[in-house]
Amino acid sequence: MPLEIGQPAPDFELKDQFGQPVRLSSFRGEKAVVVMFYPFAFSGVCTGELCEVRDNLPRFDSEDVVLLAVSCDMMFSLRAFAEKEKLEFPLLSDFWPHGAVSEAYGVFDAERGCSTRSTFIVDLDGVLRWSVHNKLPEARDLAEQLSVLEGIVA
């Protein structure tokens, strides 16, 4: 079951597509964070969503907010995915221990071995302020996420 709004976001450190560690708490007091869990690199809906994010990146990644996209794919797959789709934001690998961060956020689908399609917005204090959870074949409404995000960082 996904986490409740108003509670502290579980801290994590994952490697990005270049093998660089990224820690959620490193943004505390500096930026709000959009933690976007997605099932699989290279899949149709995930590719569409992340390319839409790429095309609107200044709204998702600015001096006030950072985007962290998380999947259970291996780092090397994420690097190939980022290069192919020209994704210039952190794609974090929750590969090993497999799905541990997704599990901590209550969005790990053990049957499929992947994250569900979920987004959490974490404020400057590290508190969960908003979330949305879609079924695997359903794309998220990114305009809604941007609207909520603008209200949080305003």
Q: Which domains does the chain have, with CATH numbers?
A: 13-153 (3.40.30.10)
Q: How many residues does the chain have?
A: 154
Active site residues: 46
Confidence label for 104 from pLDDT (cuts 50, 70 and 90): very high
Q: Which two tokens stand for residue 36?
A: 């976007």
**Token representation of residue 117:** 């399609």
pLDDT-derived band at 136 (thresholds 50, 70, 90) equals: confident
Helical ranges in the chain per DSSP H: 44-55, 57-60, 75-85, 100-104, 142-153
96/25 Cα distance (integer angstroms): 20
- pLDDT tens digit string along 54-82? 999 999 999 999 999 999 999 999 999 99
The answer to whether the beta carbons of residues 33 and 122 sit under 8 Å apart is yes
Statement: the pTM of the whole predicted model exceeds 0.85? yes
Tokens of 77: 């797959």
